[in-house]
Structure 1
Amino acid sequence: MAQSIGSDVENLLALLQFNATLPPGLFADRSLRAFQEELQWECDYQGEAGSARVFRVVEELTTSRVLTMEMGKGIT
């Protein structure tokens, strides 16, 4: 998934370059690259695991593509 995001955004940028109806100053390339970066961060499940605070991450079942967590006890 994460690898396909890069090529999908590149394909979209190529299509936009052929479209002359974009308003000036739109900066589609910058916007799409920021969007691409955000999507790639969302696909980094090991990074997400490092940010998890409410759930316990099951380390032995977590990979760069799969985030495995279980609900921990909360404060009541």
Structure 2
Amino acid sequence: MLEELNYAARIVGVKQLRRALADGRVRKVFLADDADPALTDPIREACTLAGIPVETAASARQLGQACGISVAATAAGVI
């Protein structure tokens, strides 16, 4: 599931993902299971309204590694 983030064009981070969702550029969203729900719930809701699939990663660290960054990532999206 996270392998898609290795080769696809992506957005990493809550702020960037919110902007891309508002612009209609996101095809799929990945959220860290251990992230703060105050950050991830609004993104999940926006995806539900827009019909964008949401998948979860076991941890923010795992999601960050899948995105090729050295820090944890709460949210990422494929554009």
TM-score (norm 2): 0.26
Larger radius of gyration: 1
Q: Which has the higher helix share?
A: 1
Higher relative contact order at CA 8 Å, sep ≥6: structure 1 or structure 2? 2
TM-score (norm 1): 0.27
